[in-house]
A and B are shown apart, each in its own frame.
Chain A
Amino acid sequence: MAEWRQYYQNEDDEVEEDEEDSGGDYKISGRDSLVFLVDASKEMFIKSEDGETSNFDMTMQCVRSVYTSKIISSDKDLVALVFYGTEQSKNPRNSFKHVYVYHDLDSPGSQRVLDIDKLLGEKGAQFAEKTIGSGETSLGEALWCCSNLYSDIKLRLSHKRLMIFTCRDDPHGGDGAKDRQARTKAADLKETGVVIDLMHLTKPGGFDVSLFFCDIVSPPEDESELGLQIEPCRKLEDLQKRVRAKELKKRSQSRLTFSLGEGVNLAVGVYVLARTATKPSAVKLHRDTNEPVRTKTRYFHAHNGGILLPNDMKRAQVYGKKQIVMEKDEVDEIKKFDDPGLVLMGFKPMDRLKLHHHIRPALFIYPEEEQISGSSCVFTALLLKCSEKNVFALCRYIPRRNTPPRFVALVPQREELDQSQTQATPPGFNVIFLPFADDIRTLDAHVGPTASDEQVDKMKEIVDKMKEIVHKLRFKYKSDAFENPVLQQHYRNLEALALNMLEPEPIEDLTMPKVQMMDARLGPLAQEFKDLVYPPDYNPEGKPAAKPESGGGAAEKKPKAEISEEELKNHVANGTLGKLTVPVLKDACKQFGIRTTGTKKQELIDALPIFGRE
Chain B
Amino acid sequence: MARAAKSALVLCMDVGFSMSNSEPGQEPPFEQAKKVIQKFVQRQVFAENKDEVGLVLFGTDGTKNRLAKDGQYENITVHRHLMMPDFELLEEIESELQPGGQQADWLDALVVCMDLLQQETMGKKFERLNIVLLTDLNVQTSADQLDVIINSLKKAGITLQFFLPFPLDGEDRADGGGDGPGPSAASARPGKGLSSQQTQGLEMVKNIMTSLEEEDGLEEVHTFRDALEKLSIFKRIDRRPMAWPCQLTIGSSLTIRIVGYKAVTEEKVKKSWTIVDAQSHQRDDVKRETVYCLNDDDETEVQKDDTIQGFRYGSDIVPFSKVDEDQMKYKSDGKCFSVLGFTKQELIRRHQFMGSQVVKVFAARDDEHAAVALSALIRALDSLKMAAIVRYAYDRRSNPQVGAAFPCIKEKYECLLYVQLPFMEDLRQFTFPMLENNKKFTPSESQLSAADALIDSMMLVEKDEDGESVDVFKVNHIPNPQFQRLFQCLHHRGVNPDDPLPPVEPWLKRALERPQAVSARCQAPLQDVKTKFPLKVVVKKKEQKTSADVFGSSADEPDAKRVKVDEEMEFNLAEIAAGNITSVGSVNPVRDFCALVRQKTVSFDQACQQLTHRIEQLLGNRSPEYYMKSIACIQAFRDQSVSSGNAELFNSYMQSLKRSVPDRNLQEFWDLLIQDALTLISKDEVDGSTISKQDANQFLAFEQKEEVQAAPVQEDTGDVDDLVSVSYLFGCFNDKLTIYYICECNYDHK
Are B312 and A284 in contact (CB-based, < 8 A)? no
Are B352 and A479 in contact (CB-based, < 8 A)? yes
Instruction: List the B side residues contacting A419 at CB < 8 Å.
Output: none
Known: A14-B356, A261-B526, A334-B485. A287 touches B306 (CB 8 A): yes
Known: A271-B430, A277-B426. A295 touches B290 (CB 8 A): yes
Those of A292-323 within 8 Å (CB) of chain B: 292-323
Instruction: List the A side residues contacting B343 at CB < 8 Å.
Output: 474-477
How distant is the Cα of A245 from the Cα of B293 in the complex, in angstroms?
41
B254 interfacial contact with A, CB 8 Å: yes
Interface stretch of the complex, out of A3-11, A90-98, A143-151, A231-239: A3-11
B506 interfacial contact with A, CB 8 Å: no
Q: Output the nearest chain A residue to B46 by Cβ-Cβ distance.
A: A319
Are B254 and A287 in contact (CB-based, < 8 A)? no
Interface stretch of the complex, out of A132-140, A378-386, A594-602: A378-386
B37 interfacial contact with A, CB 8 Å: no
A613 interfacial contact with B, CB 8 Å: no
Q: Output the nearest chain A residue to B420 by Cβ-Cβ distance.
A: A276
Q: Output the nearest chain B residue to A482 by Cβ-Cβ distance.
A: B402
| A285 CB, min distance to chain B CBs, angstroms | 5
Are A316 and B274 in contact (CB-based, < 8 A)? yes
Known: A108-B315, A272-B428, A325-B493. A470 touches B342 (CB 8 A): yes
Q: Output the nearest chain A residue to B255 by Cβ-Cβ distance.
A: A540
A248 interfacial contact with B, CB 8 Å: yes
B534 interfacial contact with A, CB 8 Å: yes
Are A305 and B746 in contact (CB-based, < 8 A)? yes
Are A427 and B432 in contact (CB-based, < 8 A)? yes
Interface 0/1 of B243-285, CB less than 8 Å to A: 0110101111111110101111111100111111111010111
Those of B681-703 within 8 Å (CB) of chain A: none
A469 interfacial contact with B, CB 8 Å: yes
Instruction: List the A side residues contacting B441 at CB < 8 Å.
Output: 367, 376-377, 379-380
Those of A405-460 within 8 Å (CB) of chain B: 405, 407, 411, 413-415, 422-423, 426-428, 430, 432, 434-443, 445-449, 459
Are A20 and B717 in contact (CB-based, < 8 A)? yes
Known: A27-B554, A404-B481. A323 touches B281 (CB 8 A): yes
Are A358 and B379 in contact (CB-based, < 8 A)? no
A555 interfacial contact with B, CB 8 Å: no
A291 interfacial contact with B, CB 8 Å: yes
Which among B254, B264, B742 is the interface contact of A359 at CB below 8 angstroms?
B264
B598 interfacial contact with A, CB 8 Å: no
Known: A7-B356, A486-B399. A498 touches B292 (CB 8 A): no
Are B266 and A10 in contact (CB-based, < 8 A)? yes
B381 interfacial contact with A, CB 8 Å: yes
B13 interfacial contact with A, CB 8 Å: no
Are A401 and B713 in contact (CB-based, < 8 A)? yes
Instruction: List the A side residues contacting B711 at CB < 8 Å.
Output: 340, 400-401
Are B355 and A313 in contact (CB-based, < 8 A)? no
Are A479 and B422 in contact (CB-based, < 8 A)? yes
Known: A299-B724, A358-B264. A224 touches B238 (CB 8 A): no
Are B461 and A348 in contact (CB-based, < 8 A)? yes
Interface stretch of the complex, out of A116-124, A168-176, A487-495, A578-586: A487-495
A344 interfacial contact with B, CB 8 Å: yes
| B592 CB, min distance to chain A CBs, angstroms | 23
Are B320 and A493 in contact (CB-based, < 8 A)? yes
Are B351 and A432 in contact (CB-based, < 8 A)? yes
Instruction: List the A side residues contacting B247 at CB < 8 Å.
Output: 540-541
Which among A426, A436, A512, A541 is the interface contact of B475 at CB below 8 angstroms?
A436
Are A355 and B339 in contact (CB-based, < 8 A)? no
Are B438 and A224 in contact (CB-based, < 8 A)? yes
| B678 CB, min distance to chain A CBs, angstroms | 20
Instruction: List the A side residues contacting B526 at CB < 8 Å.
Output: 260-262, 264
A505 interfacial contact with B, CB 8 Å: no
Instruction: List the B side residues contacting A382 at CB < 8 Å.
Output: 451, 455
Instruction: List the B side residues contacting A333 at CB < 8 Å.
Output: 501
Known: A27-B624, A511-B400. A504 touches B328 (CB 8 A): yes
Instruction: List the A side residues contacting B507 at CB < 8 Å.
Output: none
| A390 CB, min distance to chain B CBs, angstroms | 11
Known: A4-B244, A274-B422, A489-B330. A313 touches B278 (CB 8 A): yes
How distant is the Cα of A432 from the Cα of B349 in the complex, in angstroms?
12
Known: A301-B285, A362-B351, A486-B400. A75 touches B537 (CB 8 A): no
Are B295 and A3 in contact (CB-based, < 8 A)? no
Known: A322-B87, A346-B458. A480 touches B738 (CB 8 A): no
Instruction: List the A side residues contacting B720 at CB < 8 Å.
Output: 297, 299
| A223 CB, min distance to chain B CBs, angstroms | 7
Which among B285, B406, B479, B535 is the interface contact of A265 at CB below 8 angstroms?
B535
A462 interfacial contact with B, CB 8 Å: yes
Are A274 and B426 in contact (CB-based, < 8 A)? yes
Are A518 and B461 in contact (CB-based, < 8 A)? no
| B531 CB, min distance to chain A CBs, angstroms | 10
Are A356 and B408 in contact (CB-based, < 8 A)? yes
Instruction: List the B side residues contacting A436 at CB < 8 Å.
Output: 267, 475-476, 478-481
Instruction: List the A side residues contacting B254 at CB < 8 Å.
Output: 469, 522, 526, 529-530
Are B255 and A8 in contact (CB-based, < 8 A)? no
Are A426 and B455 in contact (CB-based, < 8 A)? no
A156 interfacial contact with B, CB 8 Å: yes
Instruction: List the B side residues contacting A370 at CB < 8 Å.
Output: 538
Are A273 and B455 in contact (CB-based, < 8 A)? no
| B699 CB, min distance to chain A CBs, angstroms | 24
Instruction: List the A side residues contacting B121 at CB < 8 Å.
Output: none
Which among B261, B287, B413, B480 is the interface contact of A447 at CB below 8 angstroms?
B413
B371 interfacial contact with A, CB 8 Å: yes
Known: A14-B356, A320-B45, A441-B265. A515 touches B285 (CB 8 A): no
Instruction: List the A side residues contacting B383 at CB < 8 Å.
Output: 463, 467
Are A415 and B436 in contact (CB-based, < 8 A)? yes
Are B251 and A286 in contact (CB-based, < 8 A)? no
Are A224 and B494 in contact (CB-based, < 8 A)? no
Interface 0/1 of B502-539, CB less than 8 Å to A: 00100000001011001100110011011001111110
Instruction: List the B side residues contacting A264 at CB < 8 Å.
Output: 526, 529-530, 533, 535
Instruction: List the A side residues contacting B705 at CB < 8 Å.
Output: none
Are A544 and B367 in contact (CB-based, < 8 A)? yes
Which among B314, B440, B533, B551 is the interface contact of A110 at CB below 8 angstroms?
B314
B122 interfacial contact with A, CB 8 Å: no
Are B476 and A437 in contact (CB-based, < 8 A)? yes
Which among B249, B294, B363, B486 is the interface contact of A286 at CB below 8 angstroms?
B294
| A431 CB, min distance to chain B CBs, angstroms | 8
Instruction: List the B side residues contacting A610 at CB < 8 Å.
Output: none
Are A70 and B314 in contact (CB-based, < 8 A)? yes
How distant is the Cα of A305 from the Cα of B514 in the complex, in angstroms?
53
Known: A301-B286, A479-B352, A526-B254. A404 touches B742 (CB 8 A): no
A250 interfacial contact with B, CB 8 Å: yes
How distant is the Cα of A254 from the Cα of B711 in the complex, in angstroms?
10
How distant is the Cα of A30 from the Cα of B730 in the complex, in angstroms?
31
B715 interfacial contact with A, CB 8 Å: yes
Known: A293-B295, A489-B328, A535-B369. A483 touches B432 (CB 8 A): no
Which among A379, A413, A479 is the interface contact of B421 at CB below 8 angstroms?
A479
Are B550 and A108 in contact (CB-based, < 8 A)? no
B477 interfacial contact with A, CB 8 Å: yes
How distant is the Cα of A368 from the Cα of B363 in the complex, in angstroms?
49
Interface 0/1 of B734-750, CB less than 8 Å to A: 00001001100111000
Leading 5 A-B pairs by shortest Cβ distance = A224-B434, A298-B727, A71-B314, A305-B747, A322-B87
Between-chain CB contacts (< 8 Å), 18 pairs? A24-B712, A71-B313, A263-B530, A292-B295, A298-B745, A309-B731, A321-B86, A334-B485, A346-B522, A353-B350, A377-B443, A394-B460, A443-B263, A466-B377, A475-B389, A484-B425, A511-B400, A511-B401
Contacts A304-B747, A377-B441, A540-B370 supplied; 18 other A-B pairs, CB < 8 Å: A265-B535, A283-B311, A287-B308, A297-B720, A307-B727, A334-B489, A335-B482, A346-B473, A372-B537, A383-B435, A401-B715, A441-B241, A441-B263, A467-B384, A477-B404, A483-B423, A511-B402, A513-B340
